[in-house]
Structure 1
Amino acid sequence: MTDRKAQLAANLAQVEDRIASACVAAGREREEVTLIVVTKTYPASDVRILSELGVRDVAENRDQDAAPKAAECADLPLRWHFVGQLQTNKVRSVVGYADLVQSVDRSKLVTSLSAAAVRAEREVGCLIQVALDAEENGRGERGGVGPGGIEELAALVADAPGLRIDGLMTVAPLTGPYAGRQRAAFERLMDLSTDLRRAHPAANMVSAGMSADLEEAVAAGATHVRVGTAVLGVRPRLG
């Protein structure tokens, strides 16, 4: 086993233990939580090793890095998640490889994603990115729509050809009423998910929690956690 593979295997085992322990503490089954490994800034060789180690879900946040990496790993049984703020001029490229876009936060993006998905003859899953640092109908500092905008945006996705409404995503806010209160933030997201499922019963995906706060996300009820640093190590600086 190469040094890098051994390192990733050890890190992955530690994260797996954390998720399993969090599930036990929350009275949940381990199968209820999917680990998404955030591979941004890391090479395709790492993605290949992760696949060998059993990882099936990987996430990227910049199309210029993700597109060539996904192409290089096209032979692997992976689900690719796009988690970054997405500009409409990158949509066509992203739809070429992303199975899910977790950062849907405006109607113009829904229109672009739908057109690209139809053109590519693909169905793309969409999560509404919720900004818990925003006013009810505002926008967040790091993207996302305020809670008051979820219903309208979800309806747009559900009606858009080539798209599927799968659920909600959030990033623990750095400002506002939930700053430093990850568990409360994730519990709020779960309440919003309950509201969403009244209109869209199949939209039961809740993506929340990262390396530092995955336990709080599991405790609140998240179905997916997005972990980068704890698996891959401290990120190299981008030039």
Structure 2
Amino acid sequence: MTDRRAQLAANLAKVEERIAKACAAAGRDREEVTLIAVTKTYPASDVRLLAGLGVRQVAENRDQDAAPKAAESADLPLVWHFVGQLQTNKVKSVVQYADFVHSVDRGRLVSALSAAAVRAGREIDCLIQVALDAEVGGRGERGGVAPDGVAALADLLAEAEGLRPAGLMTVAPLAGPFAGRPRAAFERLAESAALLRSAHPAATMVSAGMSADLEEAVAAGATHVRIGSAVLGARPRLG
């Protein structure tokens, strides 16, 4: 076993233990929570090692990193998630490899994704990014739509060819009433998710929680946690 593979295996085991303990504390089955490994800033070789260790769900937040990495890993049985803010000029590339887009937050993006998905002959599962630091009718500092905008966006996704509303995503906010309160933030997301499911029963995903706050997300009902540094290690600074 190479040093890097051993390091990743040890990190995965620690994260798995954290998720299992969080599920037990919340009275949930471990199978209810899916780990997504966020490999940003790390090479395709790490993706290959993770796949060998049983990881099947991987994520990127920048298309310029994701597209070549997905191409290099095309022979692996992976599900790719795009989790970063997405500009409309990147959608043609993103729909070529992403099975899930977690950051849908405006109607213009829905239109662009739909057109690109149709041209690519693909069906893309889309999550609406909810900004819990946004004012009513507004958008968040790190992207996302205020909770009051979820229903309209979900209806647009349901009507858009090549797209499916899959659920909701959030990042614990750095400002506003939920700053420093990840558990409360994720519980607020769960409320929005329940309303979404009442209108779109297949939209069952709740993507919340990262390396620092996965326990709070699991306690609040997250179905997917996006884990980067706890699996791959401290990230080098981007230049």
TM-score, structure 1 length as denominator? 0.99
Distance 1:198 1:8 in 2: 39
Q: Which residue of 1 aligns with 2:123?
A: 123
Q: Which residue of 1 aligns with 2:47?
A: 47
Q: Answer yes or no: is 1:33 the counterpart of 2:33.
A: yes
Shift of 1:12: 0.2
Distance 2:142 2:9 in 1: 31
Distance 1:201 1:124 in 2: 17
Q: Which residue of 1 aligns with 2:133?
A: 133
Q: Which residue of 1 aligns with 2:215?
A: 215
Residues 147-176 of structure 1: CA deviation (Å, up to 9, x unaligned): 010000000001000001000000000000
Q: Which residue of 2 aligns with 1:197?
A: 197
Q: Answer yes or no: is 1:173 the counterpart of 2:170.
A: no
Distance 1:139 1:174 in 2: 14
SS across alignment from 1:206 = strand
Shift of 1:137: 1.4
Distance 2:193 2:85 in 1: 21
Q: Answer yes or no: is 1:185 the counterpart of 2:205.
A: no
SS across alignment from 1:76 = coil
Distance 2:160 2:56 in 1: 27
Distance 2:237 2:192 in 1: 35
Q: Which residue of 1 aligns with 2:92?
A: 92
Structure 1: tracts of 5 or more residues without a match: none
Q: Which residue of 1 aligns with 2:79?
A: 79
Shift of 1:119: 0.3
Residues 69-128 of structure 1: CA deviation (Å, up to 9, x unaligned): 000000000000000000000000000000000000000000000000000000000000
Shift of 1:8: 0.1
Distance 2:162 2:136 in 1: 29
Distance 1:137 1:213 in 2: 27
SS across alignment from 2:97 = coil
Quick one: percent identity of the two aligned structures?
A: 79
Distance 2:44 2:89 in 1: 24
SS across alignment from 1:81 = strand
SS across alignment from 2:59 = strand
Instruction: List structure 1 segments (4+ residues) > 3 angstroms apart after TM superposition.
Output: none
Give the letter aligned to residue 28 of structure 1: R
SS across alignment from 1:174 = coil
SS across alignment from 1:96 = helix
Give the letter aligned to residue 143 of structure 2: G
Shift of 1:205: 0.2
SS across alignment from 1:84 = coil
Give the letter aligned to residue 145 of structure 2: V
Distance 2:147 2:190 in 1: 12
Give the letter aligned to residue 6 of structure 1: A
Q: Which residue of 1 aligns with 2:12?
A: 12
SS across alignment from 1:66 = helix
Distance 1:209 1:90 in 2: 25
Shift of 1:238: 1.6
Q: How many residues align?
A: 239
Distance 1:54 1:136 in 2: 42
Matches within 5 A, 1:104-115: 104-115=104-115
Q: Which residue of 1 aligns with 2:70?
A: 70
Structure 2: tracts of 5 or more residues without a match: none
Distance 2:123 2:167 in 1: 15
Give the letter aligned to residue 224 of structure 1: H
Distance 1:136 1:208 in 2: 21
Give the letter aligned to residue 154 of structure 2: A
Distance 1:237 1:3 in 2: 22
Distance 1:193 1:127 in 2: 11
Shift of 1:136: 2.1
Q: Answer yes or no: is 1:159 the counterpart of 2:194.
A: no
Q: Which residue of 2 aligns with 1:23?
A: 23
